[in-house]
Structure 1
Amino acid sequence: MKTIVEHIVDSLNEQHEIVTATILHKSGSAPREAGTKMVIRKDTSIEGTIGGGTLEAMAMQLAPEVFKTKQSSIEDIELTDDDARAAGMVCGGEVSVLLEHIDALDISQLNIYHKAKELKTVGTDFIMITNISQTNRRMSGKHKWICTETELFGEEDKEVQGIVRELRENFYHVKFHLHVGKNRYMIEPFYAMDRLYIVGAGHVSQQIALLSKSLGFYTVVIDDREAFANKERFPSADEIHVVSSTYEGLLQEVGIPPNSYIAIVTRGVDKVVLEQALRMRAKYIGMIGSKTKRNYVYAELLKEGFAQQELDVVHCPIGVSINAQTPEEIAISIVAELTQVKRS
């Protein structure tokens, strides 16, 4: 599954210029959140979506003028109640959309997007910063920057350097937003693809892997039994790791990066895995089992020096409550919880 950054670079390589439509702000019952982006090519083909229906149609109607003038613009699009009902919503709203002209002949701009694709390929998290004060005129690549935890790419700019310092204070928790200072900037976090590590390769894990992959998670399965952790049982998994029977040293053996999702569904080594997961700065940790089992594991970890505050972040019993009983139902409840965390 290609990311929007890959679609942008590929489209620039094929057609030399594109228009991106990005939702900057919404009010009422607009279909998609701020930060949602789509690519519009000159041949009217698209990648991604900003919600379909009237909103998408209007963005596409405005795109030819952007191609003609090569000038980016911000458009306020009003959705009527009829538009909303056609999209399955209760009432309408207003959406502010940035239509940005991106030209491969602008070497600075092309380099920024190639750098973005390069960072995506190696799994490096980054934030793109775009000066949108210059809309209704040409926006060059000199108005766009990329920052990682340690590097900044783009033209030297004192105001942007100040913004970067602020972003790095809480780097992994930056949400899409507009920064208003001397200029107005669009702040877009591009974190590595959501990675789910399923520890344990039983029947429930099989069902989780099928669902998580279909929802776009990079899915990794871990177990100490090669007879269970293999491609025949997990054809959709992106990675499968057979580890030592003690499950110790998961971080070193598998290399679980920060901001990952960890679902602990082992056959009896949950405490060992949870102890490591709590030190991994994970975005989500879920552990299967009853409240009795949870209380026992937590009590042991408290004795070892963990704080209750650390344990409170764990989702246990794992999954949303749907009275699930079969492996398929349990997997649905777990993946629903993963989606809930992802979208919150």
Structure 2
Amino acid sequence: MKDIYEVMNDLLCSREDFVLATILEKSGSAPREQGTKMIIKRDLSIEGTIGGGILEAMAIKMSADIFKNKRFVIREFTLSNEGASAIGAACGGSLKLLLEYINPDDEAMNFIYKKSFELKNKGDNFVFITRLDEKENYVTGIDKWICTETGFYGQENDMTQKILRKVRKNFKNIHFHNVREDDRLYLVEPVLNSESVYIMGAGHVSQKIAVVAKMLNFKTIVLDDREEFANRENFKTADEVKVIQSFEDISHCVKIDNRSYIIIVTRGHGYDKEVLAQVLKTDAKYIGMIGSKTKRDFVYKRLMDEGYTAEDLKRVHCPIGISIGAQTPEEIAVSITAEMIKVRRES
């Protein structure tokens, strides 16, 4: 599944206009969070979701006018219990939705979204800033900026510098929010921890990998079928720790895309082959499996007997990690995460 920034980049490169829907605010049990985005194309098909059901139907209907007048609108929606039920929420809530026209002929717009895609593809953290003039209701590329920890993209002015100084003071902990300055609304959207690492197995090596991966700004998810191993006591820094029923079917509990890094370290290698067979069917950016060359060859032969090809298996880093003579769990963690960095920076 393509990331929303990749879809936007593809559309702009193809000179296709679209309407971008963004949830600005939410309260109650509205199903999606602030910052959630959905793309509405000219044919009214969509990419992504802002919650489904009535809400998306209304957004799509409104987009027809936006394509005509090429302006943005901000609308508040109150979901009754009945309406909330239609989109999978337990009870009613409310949200504020931004619908903006994205013009492929606006070179500044093309540049800023291309840059956001490049940064996200590299795994760099950044903050996307959009100026919304509610009197004009018109957004161009010069109303958008990108701020990284050390870089800035867009047309600089005194007001954006003021906002950037605030952003950089708390860069890694900043949240999606709106700022009102000079009678305009500025939308501040952090794109942080954009890459995820799934650690399949919760042993001693996994504990060290989780610590180092988090330091490198990966969203870190640990999975195991043993609660005594997969718990917060053992993985204090991980973003998520999941106890699963079985490694034989992980599709229901993970969402693997081309921003995902997979580390296969199941207990005693008992489920490594089963996990590898499943993740080879995804477009994961990195797949690494721990073990010797002998173990690797055995697993590969079994997979090829099942119909996997040599080309499929070229995607796998096994033995996992950069060769540094690692022996301890800490050294192995450094070796593996160094290889992940290499993949991140070379892609």
Which TM-score bucket, shorter chain as reference? 0.5 to 0.7
Shift in Å at residue 188 of structure 1? 1.2
**Separation of aligned partners in 1, 2:72 and 2:66:** 6
Shift in Å at residue 197 of structure 1? 4.8
Q: Does 1:165 align with 2:208?
A: no
Shift in Å at residue 54 of structure 1? 0.7
- Equivalent in the alignment of 2:45: 45
- Equivalent in the alignment of 2:327: 246
**Separation of aligned partners in 2, 1:209 and 1:151:** 42
Contact 2:132–2:138 at 8 Å: present in 1 too? no
Q: Does 1:132 align with 2:213?
A: no
Encode CA deviations 1:270-311: one digit per residue, 9 max, x unaligned. Answer: xxxxxxxxxxxxxxxxxxxxxxxxxxxxxxxxxxxxxxxxxx
- Equivalent in the alignment of 2:338: 255
Encode CA deviations 1:112-169: one digit per residue, 9 max, x unaligned. Answer: 0011111122222211011123465221111100011100000012221222222222
- Equivalent in the alignment of 2:3: 3
- The more displaced of 121-130 and 37-46 is 121-130
**Separation of aligned partners in 2, 1:82 and 1:238:** 48
- Which structure 2 residues correspond to residues 219-234 of structure 1 after superposition, within 5 A? 219-220=262-263, 221=288, 223=290, 225-228=292-295, 232=300
Classify the secondary structure of the residue corresponding to 2:172: helix
- Equivalent in the alignment of 1:196: 198
Contact 2:18–2:103 at 8 Å: present in 1 too? yes
Contact 2:289–2:316 at 8 Å: present in 1 too? no
- Equivalent in the alignment of 1:218: 261
Aligned amino acid, residue 334 of structure 2: L
Classify the secondary structure of the residue corresponding to 1:180: strand
**Separation of aligned partners in 2, 1:51 and 1:128:** 22
Shift in Å at residue 52 of structure 1? 0.1
**Separation of aligned partners in 2, 1:89 and 1:171:** 32
Check 1:225–1:168 CA distance in 2 against 1; reply closer, same or farther (3 A cut). farther
Check 1:253–1:34 CA distance in 2 against 1; reply closer, same or farther (3 A cut). closer
Check 1:253–1:30 CA distance in 2 against 1; reply closer, same or farther (3 A cut). closer
Shift in Å at residue 12 of structure 1? 2.2
Q: Once the two structures are aligned, what percentage of the paired residues are identical?
A: 35
**Separation of aligned partners in 2, 1:224 and 1:158:** 55
Shift in Å at residue 40 of structure 1? 0.4
Check 1:193–1:239 CA distance in 2 against 1; reply closer, same or farther (3 A cut). farther
Q: Does 1:186 align with 2:269?
A: no
What residue ranges of structure 1 are gaps of 5+ in the alignment?
Answer: 259-344
**Separation of aligned partners in 2, 1:208 and 1:158:** 56
Encode CA deviations 1:80-99: one digit per residue, 9 max, x unaligned. Answer: 22111222323222211000
Classify the secondary structure of the residue corresponding to 1:34: coil
**Separation of aligned partners in 2, 1:171 and 1:256:** 26
**Separation of aligned partners in 2, 1:134 and 1:98:** 11
Check 1:213–1:31 CA distance in 2 against 1; reply closer, same or farther (3 A cut). closer
**Separation of aligned partners in 1, 2:249 and 2:119:** 26
Classify the secondary structure of the residue corresponding to 2:111: helix
Aligned amino acid, residue 133 of structure 1: D
Shift in Å at residue 256 of structure 1? 7.3
**Separation of aligned partners in 2, 1:91 and 1:131:** 33
Contact 1:131–1:186 at 8 Å: present in 2 too? yes
Check 1:54–1:238 CA distance in 2 against 1; reply closer, same or farther (3 A cut). farther
Check 1:36–1:163 CA distance in 2 against 1; reply closer, same or farther (3 A cut). same
Q: Does 1:207 align with 2:208?
A: no
- The more displaced of 188-197 and 152-161 is 188-197
Shift in Å at residue 186 of structure 1? 0.9
Encode CA deviations 1:62-113: one digit per residue, 9 max, x unaligned. Answer: 0010010001110112222211122232322221100011001111111000
Contact 2:75–2:97 at 8 Å: present in 1 too? yes
Classify the secondary structure of the residue corresponding to 1:207: coil
Check 1:4–1:228 CA distance in 2 against 1; reply closer, same or farther (3 A cut). farther
- Equivalent in the alignment of 2:13: 13
**Separation of aligned partners in 2, 1:50 and 1:135:** 26
Shift in Å at residue 239 of structure 1? 5.1
Shift in Å at residue 28 of structure 1? 2.1
Aligned amino acid, residue 4 of structure 1: I
Check 1:88–1:122 CA distance in 2 against 1; reply closer, same or farther (3 A cut). closer
Aligned CA-pair RMSD: 3.2
Shift in Å at residue 194 of structure 1? 1.8
Check 1:180–1:88 CA distance in 2 against 1; reply closer, same or farther (3 A cut). same
